[in-house]
Chain A
């Protein structure tokens, strides 16, 4: 068990080491400062700006930024929906797949546009190569860039800068961050064994004479941006548990670090923007502490195994149901918690088969949305909680709440409350409706308390734009496609609009000089209070569901089934 925990610790150590380096690089990119990639990338960027007819110097207001974001996302969604529905007529379709059903295509389009990548289909049996790389792969880059742009615009607003230009931000995200790292990552993945080919599946005769069909395709280029951009939609149905998406522990390490690096770095980037590295490390430390506790809880649960099965085996064995041997219990537990923390949503082991500890941790991550959080948006939500904490503590001690010199007033609190409330509304109400019709709507495959977890997990994953799932759920239905689509849209765009408007109003505020009476947010005490506020406002809302799902299941298993 110790070696398993050591692996986890070392992986996290690598992530912590990368954080300040990548964080500072992101700050340089979005502050518009010079980087060593400039000679190669500047001409490409200028070319893009000219084609799109964007004046790169033009700053946008909150409403302008929001409008351009929504229009561009809409245009991308329309293009991808058309590509999916016409996939039977388009090239690069070696297995001759027809168009998916309209509700599957709609759900998939909305899913990838919102960076969720929830898949109610299995990649190799539904999506052609062209659709994978040119429809879904395209959205992977642009949805990640959109999230990054929102996060950076929010950080700019909080630190008193103009919000920036949406098209400049997504272009810089792609040309300076996502594409360079993806190119290097794809090359490494190919060397490690991930295929990258346009030839169709390989049909082989096995040693015992059976006919085996091995699906492959242009996987490596898809896989790296899936991880790096917190997308999570797998090329194959089984995602990163598939040996051709994630062949060995080395590729697993690369993919895990890729998944964690940008959300962790963005907290540091805020510190650079605000000239307050201490504040960044304090927030980082708080999130890291909660994250590590969840990882250990899950890992210990998987290592201990399933008591009901251990009695059949005669000894204590780790729970390997739905897991791959090359990853083992430790790397699967770490991945499961990381993927739901960062809103990536890729899986290297089946979450439906995790012990209740794992089910609890993964749901908890998605309910809070700020244990690292999604690309860009997650970091912004973290600061929303910080703003709410400032507001609450300010009220408690009778001081005007101010966040780094900017007063927090009614408009900010209303917008912050909208962001806070949309999450439970988008999760709990649809879950209640689905659970009210267990036979017709819910699609539960694991009876009892776990079934409740299955339904709630799917909506939580949609609302948090995560995309992972308890895949035993029968979700390839009209109900699930449409309801999840609505939840994904609400969970993505309503907070984004609120975030951008909030950032805009903060940016325009007068700076209040710091006095002896100012409540400082960059202290250990304040960070502790923030953790408390997060747990009370965020976790308590969902505690009844957690009690009915994973906690009850844990007691059921302990009792003996």
Chain B
């Protein structure tokens, strides 16, 4: 008798709480979020022609000499055809003692040295998400020469380039928390806007 009573309470409590925290709460937050559509919808960025070319928070792969390069990504920044339906995120999960890690980084260091880029930690280690939009300021500055020569920028152009890097650097929160990072997509977008 009391088993049925207790079981009934359990089922009713499940359904009541389910409605409140499983349905009403998240949907109410969705409705509220429409007040700030830019972050609510993923911080999507448009190019000057009005086409959506990415998110301010998500990185992209860059291979051309005209652009700054991003961190290595285990999931190619979610550009694989295989994941086109859902998108993906991922990491290498290689332990520091794993010989595969050392082999991979050896290859990456050689590649960077050939392109005359100082191999900093962020450029040889893959990111946690595979979608990291940032590189370190040092990594950006060491790519300036290559980008400038590819876009045929003069000395004045170099100064503009440096100021672009500064303007697209996300600093520490309150100057203390986190690490500063240059948003590669925003930087490259600003470069394109320069028109050269």
Taking beta carbons and an 8 Å cutoff, which residues of A are in contact with B?
3, 6-7, 10-11, 48, 51-54, 67-68, 71-72, 74-76, 79, 95-97, 122, 124-125, 133-135, 137-138, 141-142, 167, 170-171, 174, 178-179, 182-183, 186-187, 190-199, 201-208, 210-216, 218, 220-222, 236-238, 241-244, 247-250, 252-253, 305-306, 308-309, 312-314, 317-328, 330-332, 347-350, 352-356, 445-450, 470-472, 553, 556-557, 561
Contact = CB atoms under 8 A, between A and B. Distances in A.
B12 A52 contact: yes
A75 B41 contact: no
Nearest to A251: B173
Contact of B42 (A10, A67, A216, A222): A216
Contacts of A95: 85-86
A461 to B, nearest CB: 15
A215 B86 contact: yes
Contacts of A75: 7, 10-11, 13-14
A137 B84 contact: no
B1 interface: no
Given A201-B87, A320-B121, A207 B189 contact: yes
A226 B59 CA distance: 25
Contact of A196 (B30, B44, B102): B30
A320 B54 CA distance: 25
Given A210-B60, A241-B91, A241-B127, 20 more contacts: A48-B17, A54-B13, A122-B90, A124-B87, A133-B22, A134-B22, A187-B29, A204-B55, A212-B77, A212-B78, A213-B85, A221-B26, A243-B131, A249-B177, A308-B102, A312-B109, A325-B134, A325-B135, A332-B128, A353-B91
Contacts of B25: 179, 182-183, 221
A472 B124 contact: no
A133 B27 CA distance: 9
A327 B134 CA distance: 11
Which of B40, B172, B176 neighbours the largest number of chain A CB atoms within 10 Å of its CB? B40
B64 interface: yes
Contacts of A356: 96-97
B194 interface: no
Contacts of A253: 173, 177
Pairs A-B, 7 closest by C-beta atoms? A249-B178, A215-B87, A472-B93, A241-B128, A138-B22, A328-B179, A196-B33
Contact of B9 (A54, A242, A327): A54
Given A182-B25, A193-B43, A243-B131, A328 B178 contact: yes
17 contacts: A54-B9, A67-B6, A134-B22, A141-B21, A190-B33, A196-B29, A196-B30, A197-B40, A197-B41, A202-B44, A211-B79, A221-B30, A241-B89, A244-B58, A249-B177, A252-B173, A326-B178
Contacts of A319: 96, 121, 125
B176 A10 contact: yes
Q: Which of B20, B78, B99, B173 has the most CB of A within 10 A?
A: B173
Contacts of A187: 29, 32
B53 to A, nearest CB: 6
Given A202-B55, A206-B60, A326-B134, A321 B94 contact: yes
Among A134, A183, A356: residue with most chain B CB under 10 A: A134
Contacts of A125: 83, 86, 88
Nearest to A140: B21
Contacts of A205: 51-53
A124 B88 contact: yes
What range describes how many residues of B lie at the interface? 35 or more
Contacts of B176: 3, 6-7, 10
A213 B95 contact: no
A152 B91 CA distance: 39
Interface string B46-73: 0100011111111111111001000100
B57 A325 contact: no
Contacts of A6: 176
A327 B178 contact: yes
Contacts of B136: 325
Given A248-B173, A319-B125, A212 B29 contact: no
A25 B14 CA distance: 26
Contacts of A198: 30
B159 interface: no
B26 A218 contact: yes
A193 B147 CA distance: 30
A202 B16 CA distance: 34
B144 to A, nearest CB: 18
B96 A202 contact: no
A178 B25 CA distance: 11
A71 B6 contact: yes
Contacts of A74: 10
Contacts of B55: 202, 204, 214, 243-244
Most chain B beta-carbon neighbours within 10 Å: one of A216, A331, A471: A216
B89 A124 contact: yes
A354 B91 CA distance: 13
A324 B86 CA distance: 22
